[in-house]
Amino acid sequence: MKLLSIAWKDFMVYVTDRRSIALIVLMPIILILVLGVCLSTVFSNGGMSIDNFEVAVVDKDKDQFATQFIDFLKSEDIKKLVTVIQIPEDEARDRVSRGKIPAMIVLPEGYSKAIHEDREAKIELYLDPGDAFRGKIVEGLVKSYSGVLAAVHGANDAADTVFKDYGLNGNLITPAVMKTISEIDGTGLAENTVQKKQSLSAMQYYSAGILVMYILFVGMLGTISVIEEREQKTLLRLMSTTVSRGVILSGKLLGLYFLGVFDVMVLIIFTKFAFGVDWGSSIPGLVVLSGAMIFAACGLAMLIASLMKSARAVGAINPVIVMLLSMLGGSMIPLFVMPPVMQILSKITLNNWALNGYISLMFHSGFQSIITPALVLCAMGSVFLTVGIMRLKLN
Amino acid sequence: MSKLIHITLMKVRLTLKDRGAFIWMFLAPIIFAGVMILVFGNGDKSNADAKYPISIVDEDKGNNAAILLELLNQDKTFELINTDAQKARQDVQNGKTVLGLVIPEGFSKSIDDGNAKKLEVLKLQDNDSTVAMMAIVQNYLYQLKLGITAGNEAEAQLASRKLIKTEEGKKIKEKVQAAFLKNMESSKIGYQSKKLTRENLGLNALSSTAIGVFVMFIMFFVSGGAGNILEEKETGTWNRLLSTPTGTFSILGGYVLGTFMIGWIQTAVLILVSRYVFHVNWGSSPLGLILLFSSFLFAVIGLGTALAALVKSRGQLSALTTIIVMPTSLIAGCMWPRDFMPNTVQKIADYVPQSWVLKGMTDLVARGSDINAVYFPSAVLMLFTIVFFLVGSMFLRQKSRA
């Protein structure tokens, strides 16, 4: 009973403190809102609406395939994306190096001739390293063109090899190949060959990432609360009553746990109804996974409380710890951009397990998919908690 | 003036004396730099030669699927990982692979029939890598169709001339397709990316995301320091200082300069450690870096001071700073390219200091420009500084009147 009243008191202290509510409720909501607005273009239709931009083309070849390439860039679909400007090489070079335009494409002298004579024929691409985003688009266009061109020649030559035995020429199949290409042109680069299916929206990914991150911030509030009470000697006073150390600590932990549950509920319900975030169809899964993550975060909070001396230091250092953990755990940047060492390292962070759990729920993988993450989180939490409580000094 | 310098030095000395703060000041940037380098490894993967891992689920196992896989395999961009549907889904979810590609059953037959079945894509989210990669996959589908057409047409041509028997047709087709694949592998038609300027210095490129996160952390480090005035107010030493004959300007100036110097020590540690321990490329203009970061630090301190003037306690300040720093950093494009965001957001982002330091950094670091490139961003940042201090003094005056 005493345990419950301590827990309830702690919970009420947190909830009525405007500062902590700002940190764990307002802040994530603002973040998710900003993310939602910022990334709305990314996941609204799978493609971004990028403003048309200029690309310099330097045509030193002035022959069949160079003209064809420029026509390709000026074709209906691609015209929407880029505007071709044909300016002298020096000027183009200068503009790219100053970041005025993202790319310069050079069709080298004798490019078409080299293709006819089956020699090395390479389009030269100069990208602005300061604009990787548009650079990638231009590279994609050049890659598409040279890929299809190579395929046409590859097809002709392949037919040639076989036709030789029959005294025929590979060019016989050219009309059919050209017909296939014209059909391709019709579909352009629209996303109709590769079907979109089974992906998370950016909003879903970041909602999960931020939820996990803010459960850790809830833990931080607990750390500060324990240390502040120690600094103000209220813990000592409590100890002088008949309540035992175990009950006091469990009470404080339980209060923190309530706060975590409160936070998770608010955030999940808010994101679900305000932004239509799909959290999957397994409510037991959500409950168990969140419960395990909150438990682990409480454990981590106690461990940190046992290591730190002043509440001020916790306030300064903890946000950085939480952010580093979130970064490692994949809350901010998808893991595949990190080297393999990091992917293994990220397994020691709580975030990674919880995030993976939420993501599999969002994929509607059902309850069994979160059993492992939940068990791992509980195990980590127990270790943190045991070490933390053993080391923690109340006075 | 000498009083101003005294206060500045006093503040720096006080911070250096406090052992906890001292460790925090040096250790945090070092740890941070280390983690950053580990996380972002060899710079931006999109530019490097690193391969993107892709999960492949071949449920078709037919001839055409094999050709497609061979084409993908020849591409240096991908590293194909053959697996089953469940494992592919898991790997994509855990971020082990960028995409999962499922070649559905009957894919080969559907292509032969001229009505290609769609490939199924598994992905965690849309971002620039997945969008680019899907375009590449799409292109290989085109190439596959061309190869198939070649085989079919070769068979048809030979058959129409009665040069082959009907049962030989399949063999011809396979022969043409095999030759096609071989030609594609040794194709001399292609493109090459060339560097505009600068020889390779043997330094790691810092990706734009890394620069952005860097800026965000510096902002967190420094804006907290500006809150020290609040602490002095809480303990009453601030009022004592004001009661001395030293002018408010000298006191405030001393504080700002002190915070500025401490901020610079942290920034310098971050830059130097990453440059000399982790060989990160910070561009070729140290003067440009100094100018840009000095203006940025002043702007951040200005913001911190304005916020400190607005709130009552340190606790409120730290809550308010996080609420302001995180979203503005996101808008400015610290975590992803600005182009991801709607136009309105991009326009709003111009009114956020981080955007300008990022702009200057992109010129200095990625483009290797000289100091000329950062005059304008630095001037804008100084303008932010002035505005923040004006707003801050307005808040202070209002408070003293109330």
**Over residues A173-194, mean pLDDT:** 59
Could A195 and B118 be called an inter-chain contact, meaning their C-beta atoms sit closer than 8 Å? yes
pLDDT > 50? residue A196: no
Q: Are residues A172 and A61 in the same domain?
A: yes
CB A303 within 8 A of CB B203: no
Provide the token pair at A131: 């604009």
Q: Which residue of B has its CA nearest to A130?
A: B366
d(CA B9, CA B12): 5
Could A193 and B53 be called an inter-chain contact, meaning their C-beta atoms sit closer than 8 Å? no
The alpha carbon of residue B17 is apart from the nearest alpha carbon of chain A, in Å, by 16
Could A140 and B142 be called an inter-chain contact, meaning their C-beta atoms sit closer than 8 Å? no
pLDDT > 90? residue A262: yes
Could A146 and B191 be called an inter-chain contact, meaning their C-beta atoms sit closer than 8 Å? yes
List CB contacts (< 8 A) between A180 and chain B: 145-146, 149
Could A316 and B97 be called an inter-chain contact, meaning their C-beta atoms sit closer than 8 Å? no
The DSSP output letter for B52 is E
The alpha carbon of residue B2 is apart from the nearest alpha carbon of chain A, in Å, by 32
Q: Which residue of A has its CA nearest to B139?
A: A144
| Structure confidence by residue, pLDDT tens digits, A120-142 | 889 999 988 878 778 888 888 88
Q: Which residue of B has its CA nearest to A206?
A: B125
List CB contacts (< 8 A) between B327 and chain A: 30-31, 34
Q: Which residue of B has its CA nearest to A311?
A: B315
List CB contacts (< 8 A) between A332 and chain B: 213, 335
Provide the token pair at B303: 């913001």
Q: Where is B53: in which H helix or E strand?
A: strand B52-58
The alpha carbon of residue B285 is apart from the nearest alpha carbon of chain A, in Å, by 15
pLDDT > 80? residue A215: yes
Among candidates B126, B132, B196 on the partner chain, residue whose Cβ is nearest the Cβ of A202: B126
Q: Which candidate, B217, B198, B214, places its Cα nearest to that of B206?
A: B214
Could B125 and A127 be called an inter-chain contact, meaning their C-beta atoms sit closer than 8 Å? no
CB A144 within 8 A of CB A69: no
Residue at A304 is within a domain: yes
Residue at A216 is within a domain: yes
| Residue A184 structural domain | 53-197
The more confidently predicted of residues A186 and A274 is A274
Measured at the CA of B332, the angle between CA A318 and CA B281, to 5 degrees, comes to 80
Could A194 and B35 be called an inter-chain contact, meaning their C-beta atoms sit closer than 8 Å? no
Q: Beta-strand (E) ranges in B169-325? A: 189-194
The alpha carbon of residue A46 is apart from the nearest alpha carbon of chain B, in Å, by 7
Number of domains in chain A: 2
Could B147 and A196 be called an inter-chain contact, meaning their C-beta atoms sit closer than 8 Å? no
pLDDT of residue B96: 80
Encode A44-62: b = buried (16+ Cβ within 10 Å), e = exposed: eeeebeeeebebbbbbebe
The alpha carbon of residue A384 is apart from the nearest alpha carbon of chain B, in Å, by 22
Assign residue A100 the CATH number of its domain. 3.40.1710
- Interface residue of A134, A160, A336 to substitute, partner B, most B CBs within 10 Å: A336
Could B96 and A123 be called an inter-chain contact, meaning their C-beta atoms sit closer than 8 Å? no
pLDDT of residue B136: 83
> In the listed set A160, A176, A197, which residue is the last one of a domain according to the structure?
A197
- Interface residue of B39, B47, B165 to substitute, partner A, most A CBs within 10 Å: B39
Sign of CA dihedral A74, A77, A79, A84: negative
Q: List, for chain B, all residue ranges whose pLDDT scores fall below the cut of 50.
A: 42-48, 199
CB B198 within 8 A of CB B180: no
Q: Are residues A273 and A246 in the same domain?
A: yes
pLDDT of residue A373: 92
pLDDT > 90? residue A288: yes
List CB contacts (< 8 A) between A181 and chain B: 146
Residue at A303 is within a domain: yes
Residue at A256 is within a domain: yes
CB B134 within 8 A of CB A137: no
pLDDT of residue A184: 62
Q: Are residues A221 and A156 in the same domain?
A: no
| Structure confidence by residue, pLDDT tens digits, B88-132 | 888 887 778 888 888 888 888 887 777 777 788 887 766 667 777
Q: Are residues A193 and A222 in the same domain?
A: no
CB B89 within 8 A of CB B122: yes
Could A27 and B322 be called an inter-chain contact, meaning their C-beta atoms sit closer than 8 Å? yes
Q: Are residues A159 and A172 in the same domain?
A: yes
Contacts of B140 (CB under 8 A, 6+ apart): A147, B68, B71, B72, B75
pLDDT of residue B297: 94
> In the listed set A181, A197, A213, which residue is the last one of a domain according to the structure?
A197
Q: Are residues A303 and A282 in the same domain?
A: yes
Q: Are residues A155 and A34 in the same domain?
A: no
Residue at A48 is within a domain: no
The alpha carbon of residue A243 is apart from the nearest alpha carbon of chain B, in Å, by 31
Could A363 and B93 be called an inter-chain contact, meaning their C-beta atoms sit closer than 8 Å? yes
List CB contacts (< 8 A) between B326 and chain A: 27, 30-31
Residue at A273 is within a domain: yes
Residue at A386 is within a domain: yes
Q: Are residues A135 and A13 in the same domain?
A: no
List CB contacts (< 8 A) between B141 and chain A: 193-194
List CB contacts (< 8 A) between B76 and chain A: none
Q: Are residues A219 and A354 in the same domain?
A: yes
Q: Are residues A115 and A215 in the same domain?
A: no
pLDDT of residue A40: 64
d(CA A34, CA A31): 5
The alpha carbon of residue B245 is apart from the nearest alpha carbon of chain A, in Å, by 32
Residue A192: pLDDT band (50, 70, 90) is: very low
pLDDT > 60? residue A161: yes
> In the listed set A140, A166, A197, which residue is the last one of a domain according to the structure?
A197
Residue at A47 is within a domain: no
Among candidates A42, A124, A155 on the partner chain, residue whose Cβ is nearest the Cβ of B149: A155
The more confidently predicted of residues A236 and B41 is A236
For chains A and B, CB pairs below 8 A equal 345
**Over residues A97-111, mean pLDDT:** 89
Residue A395: pLDDT band (50, 70, 90) is: low
Could A143 and B139 be called an inter-chain contact, meaning their C-beta atoms sit closer than 8 Å? yes
The secondary structure of B61-82 as a DSSP string is: -SHHHHHHHHHHHH-TTEEEEE
Considering A290-294, A342-346, B21-25, the range whose residues carry the highest mean pLDDT is A290-294
The answer to ipTM > 0.90 is no
The alpha carbon of residue A357 is apart from the nearest alpha carbon of chain B, in Å, by 9
Q: Are residues A221 and A192 in the same domain?
A: no
Q: Are residues A230 and A292 in the same domain?
A: yes
- Percent helix, strand and coil across chain B, each to the nearest 5: 70, 5, 25
pLDDT of residue B179: 87
